């Protein structure tokens, strides 16, 4: 694919709190706000920053499983609830498991490119704490092939990535990899402590790496992962505006307050097939490769990466899939400090899925919001330095076990 035929920007991002275990205000025994609350909070915040609903031409909402977590479908029709001004305007819902948020961005970008809209409101959300984790595991298993559910683990997706971790240990060595996974966890929580909306913002554990090294408990969980290796169960929403050059004029925001989309990819692998190689993320690798090609840059020009660390082992494998480390050398890359916030290439600067949280349908949008904050200097305490000669950012949003991939390259507008 060639370069984008029209300039596309993102601006006015907003994240709600990622609510769930870890947050001080979270009490599983008390009633909590529903999806309406989260959609409204994020949507209204973005609308406010772009001059209101009258500037919006099109809306898209990304969500994975409200149909089961909340018994709710027909999600596009929630846009008029955000703002009366969105009534009788278009609003679609998209789903691609944990890449639903990324797909919402895709749909918005395509509307801009198709010149059917100049301003698109993109929202992603998930409200998952409506059920206990053991039932949530059933719901999230929908990201895999249902024909595999019976033979799968009680915790289906942790089971999938536990199998990947086990194979990786066998092929490349357990100890080093386990240490890298614990380091990944530590980096995630340390970053989250700098971001007030992060689920692990209140985390005060002193020795995070020791905690991350806890031995797995196969009798009650999975063989090769402990709970700290897993992303959070979260309620939350994120929103961002996707805008053309004309759209920027309409909403009155200068381009240097935006990020420009330099390249993007959305690709799929066959959900009914096993991964070609269990110790590698092939679809991630291809999605990033294509996005970088479109942007015309190499990974050496990246200042930061937001990657889909649904499990620490997915973070380790992502460093290889993106191209920072050779197969089997991701653990060394991480243990050398390269992915930490003061490292060569800071990953997941507000905590990622493990530290910030993983309201599944929101995650893709949350990544874009974090990138927008970082590249425009709006990341607050979590702000990292963006070097002049390495000024691009990359996001990788994954649905299922490396099946649905959305990757985007950004630059300050």
Residues at the contact surface with another protein, assessed by CB under 8 A: 132, 134-135, 137-138, 141, 149-150, 153-155, 218-221
Burial of residue 317 (CB within 10 Å: 0-12, 13-18, 19+) is buried
- Shortest distance, position 199 Cβ to another protein, whole Å: 22
CA 182 – CA 176 distance, rounded (Å): 10
Nearer to another protein, 142 or 328 (CB): 142
Nearer to another protein, 3 or 135 (CB): 135
- Shortest distance, position 51 Cβ to another protein, whole Å: 46
51 closest CA partner among 81, 80, 12 = 12
Nearer to another protein, 207 or 277 (CB): 207
CA 264 – CA 407 distance, rounded (Å): 6
According to DSSP, the residues that pair with 410 across neighbouring strands are 261, 393
According to DSSP, the residues that pair with 239 across neighbouring strands are 14, 123
- Shortest distance, position 131 Cβ to another protein, whole Å: 9
Nearer to another protein, 134 or 381 (CB): 134
Radius of gyration of the CA atoms of the chain, in A = 20
Nearer to another protein, 4 or 131 (CB): 131
- Shortest distance, position 311 Cβ to another protein, whole Å: 17
- Shortest distance, position 384 Cβ to another protein, whole Å: 37
- Shortest distance, position 70 Cβ to another protein, whole Å: 16
- Shortest distance, position 20 Cβ to another protein, whole Å: 18
Nearer to another protein, 162 or 395 (CB): 162
- Shortest distance, position 149 Cβ to another protein, whole Å: 5
Paired tokens of 316: 């380790």
- Shortest distance, position 150 Cβ to another protein, whole Å: 5
Nearer to another protein, 218 or 254 (CB): 218
SS3 track for the chain: CCCCCCCCEEEEEEECCCECCCCCCCCCCCCCCCHHHHHHHHHHHHHHHCCCHHHCCEEEEECCCHHHHCCCCCHHHHHHHHCHHHCCCCEEEECECECHHHHHHHHHHHHHHCCCCCEEEEEEEEECCCCCHHHHHHHHHHHCCHHHCCCCCCCHHHHHHHHHHHHHHHHHCHHHHHHHHHHHHHHHHHHHCCCCCCCCCCCCCCCHHHHHCCCCCCCCCCCCCCHHHECCCCEEEEEEEEECHHHHHHHCCCHHHCEEEEEEEEEECCCCCCCCCCCCCHHHHHHHHHHHHHHCCCHHHEEEEECCCCEHHHHHHHHHHHCCCCCCCHHHHHHCCCCCCCCCCCECCCCHHHHCCCCHHHHHHHHHHHHHHHHCCCCHHHCCCCCCCCCEEEEEEEECCCCEEEEEEEEEC
Nearer to another protein, 247 or 400 (CB): 400
Nearer to another protein, 46 or 129 (CB): 129
Nearer to another protein, 132 or 174 (CB): 132
- Shortest distance, position 372 Cβ to another protein, whole Å: 38
Nearer to another protein, 156 or 372 (CB): 156
- Shortest distance, position 151 Cβ to another protein, whole Å: 8
């Amino acid at each position: 694919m060639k370069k984008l035929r029209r300039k596309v920007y993102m601006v006015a991002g907003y994240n709600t709190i990622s609510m769930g275990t870890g947050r001080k205000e979270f009490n599983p025994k008390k009633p909590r706000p529903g999806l309406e609350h989260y959609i409204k909070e994020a949507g209204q915040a973005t609308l406010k920053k772009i001059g209101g609903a009258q500037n919006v031409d099109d809306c898209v909402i990304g969500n994975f499983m409200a149909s089961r977590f909340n018994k709710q479908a027909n999600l596009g029709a929630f846009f008029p609830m955000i703002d009366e001004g969105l009534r009788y305007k278009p609003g679609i819902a998209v789903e691609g498991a944990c890449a639903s948020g990324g797909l919402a961005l895709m749909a918005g970008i395509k509307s801009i490119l198709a010149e059917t809209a100049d301003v698109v409101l993109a929202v992603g959300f998930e409200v998952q704490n409506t059920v206990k984790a053991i039932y949530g595991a059933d719901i999230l298993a929908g990201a895999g092939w249902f024909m595999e559910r019976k033979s799968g683990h009680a915790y289906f997706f942790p089971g999938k990535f536990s199998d990947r971790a086990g194979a990786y240990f066998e092929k490349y060595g357990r100890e080093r990899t386990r240490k890298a996974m614990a380091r990944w966890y530590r980096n995630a929580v340390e970053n989250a402590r700098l971001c007030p909306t992060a689920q692990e913002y209140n985390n005060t554990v002193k020795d995070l790496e020791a905690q991350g090294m806890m031995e797995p408990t196969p009798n009650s969980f999975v063989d090769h992962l402990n709970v700290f290796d897993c992303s959070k169960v979260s309620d939350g929403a994120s929103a961002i505006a996707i805008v053309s050059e004309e759209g920027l004029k309409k909403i009155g925001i200068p381009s240097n307050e935006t990020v420009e989309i330099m390249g993007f990819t959305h690709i799929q692998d066959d959900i009914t097939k096993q991964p070609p190689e269990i110790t590698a993320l092939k679809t991630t690798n291809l999605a990033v490769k294509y996005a970088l090609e479109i942007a015309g840059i190499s990974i050496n020009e990246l200042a930061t990466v937001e990657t889909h660390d649904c499990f620490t082992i997915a973070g380790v494998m992502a460093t290889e899939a993106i191209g920072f480390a050779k197969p089997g050398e991701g653990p060394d890359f991480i243990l050398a400090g390269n992915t930490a916030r003061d490292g060569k290439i800071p990953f997941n600067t507000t905590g990622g899925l493990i530290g910030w949280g993983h309201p599944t349908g929101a995650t893709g949008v949350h990544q874009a919001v974090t990138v927008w904050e970082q590249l425009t200097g709006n990341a607050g305490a979590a702000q990292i330095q963006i070097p002049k000669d390495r000024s691009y950012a990359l996001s990788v949003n994954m649905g299922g076990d490396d099946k649905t991939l959305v990757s985007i390259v950004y630059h300050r507008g």
